[in-house]
Structure 1
Amino acid sequence: MSDLRRNILATLAYFDLFSYPLTMDEIYLFLPTKCAVEEFEYACRGLVIDRHVHKFDKFYTLRNDYFLIERREKGNFKAAELIATAKKVGDLLIRFPYVRGIAISGSLSKNFADNDSDIDLFVITAKNRLWIARTVMHLFKKLTFLVKREHYFCMNYYIDEQDLLIHEKNIYTATEIATLIPLNGDTMFEQFFTANTWTREYLPNKYLRIASAKPVKDSLLKKITEFIFNNQAGNALDNLLMRITANRWHKKMLLKRTNNRGIILAMDAGKHYTKPDPVNFQMKLLVSYRNKVSQVLERCERVVVQ
């Protein structure tokens, strides 16, 4: 089997972990290598003819299960509704002190949602003011529980402009970065994507979406608030809020508290970043991915031999 065919199967295997079939254009975008489009299309058709891959309408999948197509189409429709709401959320949150960029992340950034989906958000803050920004935003989120809109404000991943590089470099993080949908902060996301050009090593055909982000127009209130804390007192407050939040999350982890989906709450945090950290999630997913690819290739080799 050619390397190109193996790479196509590996791409489908990754998204199969999320039960998500792909179009031919999407397979090409997430392919881990560059190749001529004609050669790629020929390889895709060959995999279908040889029954290594199943094609339903415009979608390709490793599983002979049309339910996956129905699930995706419903999920895409729901995502369109939720993305429209996310744009309004982004317009609101970008007004908060020290917030420099907002993007949609998670499954919604892959254009998928269901009735239980949240709006996951990736937030970039000003240098050394991440913890002030996060605290204010999460105090606001507590108010959203009163109107049962908390699932619209899942600010999960924060970084600040001091360190825009995502240090974990693998297929999972590359895909998460490449599929971000920037909402606000065009110049900030241009800097962010420039700092993370390493993703092209994993996804050389995927172009990052900067154009979707609106420019930031700071209000007078935001400027005044930031002016008040742009001093040593602001530095001390940011450090204090970091310690308070880290201690609170440490206690949650020790008590093994869970969210409404039964997942144990955990957070990985530092001065310039904070992110959810479900127990060994990335490692488990990468192991599952490698195992999946091995199983798929082994099955295909058996078919060829027969």
Structure 2
Amino acid sequence: MPHQKMTDPMISGHPDNQTSPVEAAILSTVAYRDCFRCAISLAEMHRFLHGHACTIQELQEALDRTELCQGRLETDGSYYWLKGRRENLTHRQNSEARLQARLKQAQDVARILCNMPHVRMVGLSGALAARNSTAGDDLDFFCITDQGKMWRARAWVVCVRVLDSKTKKLGVCPNYFVSTAALHMEKHTLYIANELALMVPLFGEDIYHEMRAQNLWTNRFLPNATDLPEMTRDLSVRPNRGVKTALEALMNSPIGTWFERFESTRKMRRLNAPGFHDTPHSAFTHERTGQRIFTGEAIEKAWRTRVDTLINGEEK
């Protein structure tokens, strides 16, 4: 991926050269979060700062020195947002008010999911991982499985989702599965980089680190987001080794091998059939579930429009 795809709207600068590179990075980062109607904290701004490596102290100094990027940002002392978009602060405060209860629910679900056979990582993703959830949002999970055993593992996890839909109705949504043989992301975009950096590994930190190591291209977009998300420390879970070992012994048997072949053949034929999806999808394979091909493009288009307006004084 050419580097300029990430930096074009951020380094072009203001026509009168008043916007420094660090200001451009700050504005680009806050503009991206504005696409989700959400104010951003200083720590989050630092972690997700676009294309500019620095310490959090240097970031704070830049904000002070430039007087909030020449008045293009506003703050209440805790959060930052684009000037004139104070409703983003209200949205963020509402999200924070419900956050702890929802995170506890996600942690409880992860305790179950991590016991499923051949599941090696359970990552919290989506709006809740971004601390930007609204009432009714799902609990989104990203699951990584053993190589060659993704479909049997997925079937167990889907059973948890179905059981939830019949009982507690928490909105359990395991929406993406890959195996340890498919950790590298095929699309290299700012949106995908943000999704990986946002993900909170509730179980399987070693696999999370391996996935990040196989996607070092994300460092060009988000050079400060190389460590574990802060929420990991308080939310991590462990499986019951006896339960997990017993289930994996069952699924490693000839029955499990047969089920993998049966389930993968059945589901790939169905999910890859022409016209099955309303929007174009990548292929479902033995090691990866398919995803919408144009995921994130609308967000990136909206982000670029905001950056053009903020930095170049023009709107496309």
Q: TM-score range by the shorter chain?
A: 0.7 to 0.9
- Quick one: distance in 1 between partners of 2:283 and 2:84? 39
SS of alignment partner, residue 62 of structure 2:
helix
1:176 is aligned, of 195, 198, 220, to 195
1:268–1:20 CA distance, 2 compared to 1 (3 A):
farther
State the match for 1:98 in structure 2: 118
Deviation at 1:36, TM superposition (A): 5.6
State the match for 1:23 in structure 2: 41
1:244 is aligned, of 266, 269, 272, to 266
State the match for 2:210 in structure 1: 191
Deviation at 1:58, TM superposition (A): 2.2
Superposed, 1:219-238 pairs within 5 Å as 219-220=242-243, 222-230=244-252, 234-238=256-260
Quick check: 1:281 aligned with 2:295? yes
Quick check: 1:14 aligned with 2:32? yes
- Quick one: distance in 2 between partners of 1:160 and 1:86? 22
TM-score by length of 2: 0.81
TM-score by length of 1: 0.84
Deviation at 1:110, TM superposition (A): 0.9
Structure 1: state its 5+ residue gaps.
Answer: 257-263, 302-306
Structure ranking higher on relative contact order (CA contacts 8 Å, 6+ apart): 2
Q: Which moved more, 1:240-249 or 1:162-171?
A: 240-249
Deviation at 1:281, TM superposition (A): 2.4
SS of alignment partner, residue 227 of structure 1:
helix
Deviations 1:110-164 (A, max 9, x none): 112221111100111111111111122213322322225150x200111111222
Aligned residue pairs total 291
Are the aligned partners of 1:185 and 1:216 in contact in 2 as well (CA < 8 Å)? no
Are the aligned partners of 2:161 and 2:174 in contact in 1 as well (CA < 8 Å)? no
- Quick one: distance in 2 between partners of 1:215 and 1:253? 40
State the match for 2:306 in structure 1: 292
State the match for 2:134 in structure 1: 114
Superposed, 1:37-116 pairs within 5 Å as 37=56, 39-45=58-64, 46-48=66-68, 50-116=70-136
Deviation at 1:190, TM superposition (A): 2.9
Q: Which moved more, 1:48-57 or 1:72-81?
A: 48-57
Structure 2: state its 5+ residue gaps.
Answer: 1-18
- Quick one: distance in 2 between partners of 1:83 and 1:115? 13
Superposed, 1:119-134 pairs within 5 Å as 119-134=139-154
State the match for 1:260 in structure 2: none
1:291–1:240 CA distance, 2 compared to 1 (3 A):
farther
- Quick one: distance in 1 between partners of 2:238 and 2:205? 5
Deviations 1:222-247 (A, max 9, x none): 33443344367645532432232233
- Quick one: distance in 2 between partners of 1:98 and 1:145? 23
- Quick one: distance in 2 between partners of 1:193 and 1:217? 26
Quick check: 1:140 aligned with 2:160? yes
Are the aligned partners of 2:272 and 2:284 in contact in 1 as well (CA < 8 Å)? no
- Quick one: distance in 1 between partners of 2:256 and 2:138? 32
Are the aligned partners of 2:117 and 2:251 in contact in 1 as well (CA < 8 Å)? no
